[in-house]
Structure 1
Amino acid sequence: MKKIYVSLLAIGILASCGKAQKEEATTTETESTEEVKNTLQPVNDAMMENAVIYEANIRQYSEEGSFKAFTKDIPVLKQLGVKVLWLMPIYPISTTKSKGSLGSYYAVSDYTKVNPEFGTLEDFRELVKTAHDNGIYVILDWVANHTGWDHVWLKEHPEYYTKDKEGNITHTVDTDWTDVADLNYDNTEMREQMRKDMMYWVKEEGIDGFRCDVAGMVPVDFWDKTVAELKKIKLLFMLAEGWEPELMVHAFDMGYGWDTHHKMNDIAQGKANAKEWDKRMIQIDTMYAKDDILMNFTSNHDENSWNGTVQERMGDAAAMFSALSYVAPGMPLIYSGQEYDMDKRLLFFEKDTIIKKKGKFFPLYEKLGKLKNTNPALNGGKNAASYTRIKTSDDAKILAFKREKEGNKVVFIANMTKEAVKASIEYQGKFKDYLSETEVELKVGEVHSLGAWEYKILIQE
């Protein structure tokens, strides 16, 4: 049977390296890779509870678009509470059938090399070491659904690919991904080579896991076996670009909160109200196991380039939804540039540059990151803090809930409309307003006024 197509959520890679190349990397770089691997404690459940994840677009992050330029800013990411660094594909890009002048990161021509556009393997190793020295884990973007048309497998192993009725290798069916060739998961030899290529980055380069592109379009049994083999080398953090619960039974720690993201967009655009958020939380409880983690995001590389910036999609509600992504169950994501109030769609197949000028969001992410890192009431991993909806006098407009764990309590209250609202909160207690650092007392039945998209994060320790 070919692969099962469950859901098409974003975009899709693969590659191989000659035995001699792997042996050379192993024999000449053992000392430096051992240094990288031993700097940070292995991935563990505790780090997943309070982590912030950052998606790094190396090409667009700086004028240079290089590993070196990005590495300089890793201490800045630490200030934002980042604990997991997800690097968009760092591999060489195919030029055959490529899109734009630089092509897609997801049209990989070799899985075990780095894109010379970004620098050298030594530069990459320095990036990993710097991240580890700053207490940050590094995961690589892996695209197992397809390769670029320059990949050596197309010549040496055409049987690794999907073919049409005429026997021609084809791109992934029902997509416009014409710059990539679809892989055939009926071929066991291809599966094994894919597994070996992933092992290279774990064993030889000391990375801490993978973000797996369109994971739901690759058979679950491949992921289950592969991750089990990878974890014999070291413990890993695995993120699936997919919402399917079966992906997280064995292989993946975290999936995409796509429906959560869509609910945020709909509420910001007046197409839904706070009750739709409540329905989503019930859906999560029904669909997923207690130890499943979902990633919360207001943007990512797909959303930014193809569906619009945060400002385009969320407007004045952007800050409130950013805060919500931190205090709701799950792990919050920052996409490159969001910390600098980026308000442009980054080009995907061309060089573009993020302007790194601090505005409203850097200090906000800094405060949210600190709270996420340090307050158990915002734990969102395999032993997450509880989530309880708080009743208000207008649940269609006001979202109020509490998170609680180990004697710590966080209450979130937000006006999810573009108009000022007055409502009572059916809850009582004395709190500190985390953002304004003022004392707040809630009383049952007391009416509160909230401006358009206004929100409060109340803490009680």
Structure 2
Amino acid sequence: MGKKNWWKDSLIYQIYPLSFKDSNGDGIGDINGITSELDYLKYLGVDVIWLSPIYESPMDDNGYDISNYYKINPMFGNMDDFKKLLDTVHEKGMKLIMDLVVNHTSDEHVWFKEAVNNPESKYRDYYIWRKEPSDIQSVFSGPAWEYEPKSMEYYFHLFSKKQPDLNWENEELREEIYKMINYWLDLGIDGFRLDVIDLIGKDIDKKQLADGPYLEERLKEMYNKCFKGRDIMTVGETPGISIKRAQELTAYPTNYLDMVFQFSHISLDEEQGKGKWFLKDLDLKELKTVFENIQDTFKTSGWTSLFWSNHDQPRAVSRYGNDTKYHNESAKMLFTVLYSLKGTAFVYQGEEIGMTSIKFDSIDEYKDIETINMYNEYKKLGFNDEWIFKSIYKKSRDNSRTPIQWDNTINGGFTNGTPWIKVNDNYKDINVKNEINDSNSILNYVKKYFEIRKKNEVFLKGDTIFSDVNSDWLFTYKRIFNDKELIIVANFSSNIEKYEFKDYNKYRVLITNYDDYNISRNNALPPYFVGIYEREDENGNN
């Protein structure tokens, strides 16, 4: 058995298989492509790989619509390929967790087919049916109910109509789910990321969806039947819960999950109550307030995750930084400011080279079902293309789904075929090969940063104390553990800003994105500056 709670100080790297690396020229990333690049991930300092779904699926929602939990989607490879990947990951001293999607299945899953074709079968109750629909709306636009003409009833789908929600009130269904979870754990994987797991306790008729009344008892049962006693990690995606609730779900005695993804910081650039497509400028003061709340809430119990991006979010440097003039500086700043907080670091593929969001010319070039549905719905509502595409360019999930840019050859080295989605045009400038060979690159900064983070226990155990919370450009905080103290100083703007660093001579530089820059001498911070400083004692020791 390895180190207890090994996931706390791990660097966890999310792979979106469709877009990572194609090994056979069909334009689709695959398992063997991932295996071929494990040395790169090891070079970067990755401890844990989180693999987005590779199960059998019609790919209506890019694999989050599973038709068989026990089979590998042939487009990605087969079970032998997966076992080779898992073994090689372990041989290289890394771990692998899989995505677990159990709020819903594909409508092509045998359970749902039986539920439709034979309403008297036990599988009918594996899903949620009503004679009349309610007014609940789907996350992917439109009603959350779909009429099924054979039985003249409606089934519930909080996402695509091809993703019917499972009925977690059915004990037999739950046992099937637990059996499947244990199958993968017995195979040797190191844990799960649990997709929209806060929805499995919902009460449809009371319209209590996220963090519903049965969530804790369901998580407890899953923990006892699957996770208990195993040296694994679990992280739950919980977009509908509060910061305090996230802490409760990961703290004794209800710590049935090791951590969750809590999304309070992600929704700050949208008009509250209107949804993700209604944009507003990010208020840095709001962002700092949210992070301060998270750090305070998890100070003594529970554990949190740290992330800017994933397969559902746009690219961080385009969203929060400056992806043109200050691309390099702002990408490094964003990494440092976020991952120097207390929590487990989750990095999304391509983030380490500063990949940017995409702007396709036509809706026909987009692949994401949420984006396509949004376009059609808002056109019907009378919104013009300028408004719609401004929102899509900012928030479409395809922003993060373009292929990894490996080098400056055609298609960025992702495939020698036709990629399933267009590669970003900037691949000749932004790619892994360029950055590995450039000592000033984002990639090599990230590698160096995480080496420092892992060596210094202040990052793992220290308290977080924010300052300058009312500044609309300055982001500063301290990390303190026993007699050790770090201070993180960042300029969240494209301007040179005046700043006085008190007692500067009592600190030494751990890392900065502006080499040899002396804050004290200049009394200012250049655009998107960031630095971590370690306090020295009177004898110059740290």
> What TM-score does the superposition give when structure 1 sets the normalisation length?
0.78
1:310 aligns with 2:317: yes
- Counterparts of 1:236 and 1:163, CA distance in 2: 35
Equivalent of 2:182 in 183, 199, 209 = 199
Greater displacement, 363-372 / 446-455? 446-455
- Is 2:259–2:304's contact at 8 Å kept on the other side of the alignment? yes
Match of 2:220 among 212, 220, 224: 224
1:126 is displaced (CA, Å) by 1.4
Q: Which amino acid aligns with 2:54?
A: I
- Give the match for residue 47 of structure 2: 83
Match of 2:496 among 420, 431, 438: 420
Change (3 A) 1:438 1:107: closer
CA-CA distance at 1:301 after TM superposition: 0.2
8 Å CA contact 1:58, 1:67 repeated in 2:
yes
Q: RMSD of the TM alignment (CA)?
A: 3.0
Indicate the SS of the match to 1:181: coil
Q: Report the counterpart of residue 527 of structure 2 in structure 1.
A: 452
**Would you say 1:161 and 2:127 are equivalent positions?**
yes
Which position in structure 2 is the counterpart of 1:13? none
- Three-state SS of the structure 1 residue aligned to 2:183 is helix
Larger relative contact order (C-alpha < 8 A, sep ≥ 6)? 1
Query: Aligned partners of 1:368, 1:362: CA distance in 2, in Å?
Result: 10
1:386 is matched with 463
The alignment covers a number of residue pairs equal to 399
Deviation at 1:407, TM superposition (A): 4.4
CA deviations 1:249-272 (Å, max 9, x no partner) are: 321111114223445899xx8531
Change (3 A) 1:73 1:348: farther
Distance 1:364 1:199 in 2: 39
SS for the counterpart of 1:227 is helix
Deviations 1:36-76 (A, max 9, x none): xxxxx44622x233211111111210133121110121221
Partner of 2:56 in structure 1? 92
Structure 1 residues 82 and 291, CA, compared in 2 at 3 Å: closer, same or farther? farther
Q: What's the offset of the Cα at 1:372?
A: 2.0
Contact kept in structure 1, 2:269 and 2:282, CA below 8 Å? no
Pairing 1:17-36 to 2, within 5 Å after superposition:
none
SS at match of 2:22: coil
Identify which of 215, 233, 247 aligns with 2:197: 215
String of CA shifts for 1:369-422, please: whole Å, max 9, x gaps: 21222211111xxxx321122459x84432221213354432210112232111
Equivalent residue in structure 2 for 1:297, among 307, 328, 343: 307
Are 1:272 and 2:272 an aligned pair? no
SS in 2 for 1:180: coil
User: What is the CA–CA distance in structure 2 between the aligned matches of 1:396 and 1:336, rounded to whole Å?
Assistant: 30
Could you tell me which residue of structure 2 aligns to residue 12 of structure 1? Answer: none
Cα 1:424/1:270, change in 2 over 3 Å: farther
Q: Select which of 355, 365, 384 maps to 2:405.
A: 355
Partner amino acid, structure 1, of 2:339: Y
Matches of residues 17-416 of structure 1 in structure 2 within 5 Å? 41-42=1-2, 44-45=4-5, 47-64=6-23, 65-94=29-58, 99=60, 104-154=62-112, 155=114, 157-165=123-131, 168=153, 170-173=155-158, 175=159, 177-203=160-186, 205-219=187-201, 220=215, 221-232=217-228, 234-242=230-238, 243=241, 244-245=245-246, 246-248=248-250, 249-262=254-267, 271-273=282-284, 275-285=285-295, 287-288=297-298, 290-304=300-314, 310-315=317-322, 316=326, 317-345=330-358, 347-348=367-368, 353-356=403-406, 357-358=431-432, 359=435, 360-379=441-460, 384-390=461-467, 395-405=471-481, 407-416=483-492
How far residue 141 of structure 1 moved from its aligned partner, in angstroms, is 0.4
Structure 1, unaligned stretches of length 5 or more?
A: 1-40
Mapped partners of 2:175, 2:508: distance in 1:
55
Q: 1:256 to 1:116 in 2, by over 3 A?
A: same
Note the alpha carbon deviations across 1:70-128, whole angstroms, 9 max, x for none. 0121221122222121110110003xxx63xxx52100011122111111111111111
Distance 2:517 2:317 in 1: 31
* Structure 1, 336-345 or 294-303: larger mean CA deviation: 336-345
Alpha-carbon distance, 1:283 to partner: 2.1
Assess, with a 3 A threshold, how the Cα gap between structure 1 residues 179 and 212 changes in structure 2: closer, same or farther.
Answer: same
Structure 1 residues 43 and 86: alpha-carbon distance in aligned structure 2, compared to 1, 3 A threshold:
farther
Shift of 1:437: 9.8
Paired residue for 2:207?
none
Helix, strand or coil: the match of 1:146? coil
- 1:42 & 1:228 partners in 2: Cα distance? 21
Cα 1:135/1:409, change in 2 over 3 Å: farther
Superposition deviation, residue 218 in structure 1: 1.2
> Any unmatched runs of 5+ in structure 2?
24-28, 115-120, 133-150, 202-214, 272-279, 359-365, 370-397, 407-430, 436-440, 536-541
> How many Å separate the matches in 2 of 1:185 and 1:320?
43
> Compared with structure 1, are the counterparts of its residues 217 and 427 closer, same or farther at alpha carbon in structure 2 (3 Å cutoff)?
farther
In the TM superposition, what is the alpha-carbon distance from 1:433 to its structure 2 partner? 4.0
Q: Is the 8 A contact 1:169 1:181 kept in 2?
A: no
Cα distance in 2 for residues equivalent to 1:129 and 1:270: 45
TM-superposed CA distance for 1:337, in Å, is 1.8
Aligned partner of residue 107 in structure 1, secondary structure: coil
Distance in 2 of aligned mates of 1:441 and 1:405: 26
TM-score by length of 2: 0.67
Q: Is residue 430–residue 440 contact of structure 1 (8 Å, CA) maintained in 2?
A: no
Which residue identity does 1:298 align to in structure 2? Answer: W
Higher alpha-carbon Rg: 2
Take 2:288 and 2:354, find their aligned partners in 1: how far apart are those partners?
29
Going from structure 1 to structure 2, the CA distance change for 1:104 and 1:71 (only over 3 Å counts) comes to same
Whole-Å Cα distance in 2 between the matches of residues 367 and 265 of structure 1? 34
Specify whether residues 373 and 79 from structure 1 end up closer, same or farther in structure 2 by C-alpha distance, changes over 3 A only. farther
Q: Which moved more, 1:193-202 or 1:396-405?
A: 396-405
User: Any idea what SS the aligned residue of 1:459 has?
Assistant: strand
